[in-house]
Amino acid sequence: MESNTESFTRVLVLWLELHSAVSLARSRNHREPGSGFAPWDSRDAHVREVWNKLTDPNNLLVLEQWLCQSADGQPAEWARQALRVCRERAGRAAPGR
């Protein structure tokens, strides 16, 4: 079983990979119209892949902790959205659904 530290480290690596993927997608000019670039709405395959890994239901507890520790602005917005998606995915994966 994974320790809390290992879980947190795994999610931290996914956050770093997500930011890198978003930055690369921006540099390739795959940005949707407007000033923002939300990974949950991205058309970039790598951004979507990392987002799906990050929002895996196994990350639910770590994402809840991450949100509590997030700064305001974009980090908190991304953490709230990741937690929302993760909770939705966990609900769909629950037995009897």
The H or E element spanning position 49 is helix 45-54
Domain limits, the chain: 4-29+38-93
For residue 96, name the pLDDT band (cuts at 50, 70, 90).
Answer: low
Specify the pTM.
Answer: 0.82
Core vs surface per residue 39-69: b (16+ CB within 10 A) or e: beebebebbbebbebbbbbbbeebbebbbee
Give the pLDDT confidence of 26-80 residue by residue, as tens digits.
Answer: 888 655 554 467 899 988 999 999 999 999 999 999 999 988 887 788 888 999 9
- How confident is residue 94, by pLDDT bands cut at 50, 70 and 90? low
Please list, in sequence order, all residues whose beta carbon lies within 8 angstroms of the beta carbon of residue 63, skipping any fewer than 6 positions away.
Answer: 11, 54, 55, 79, 82, 83, 86
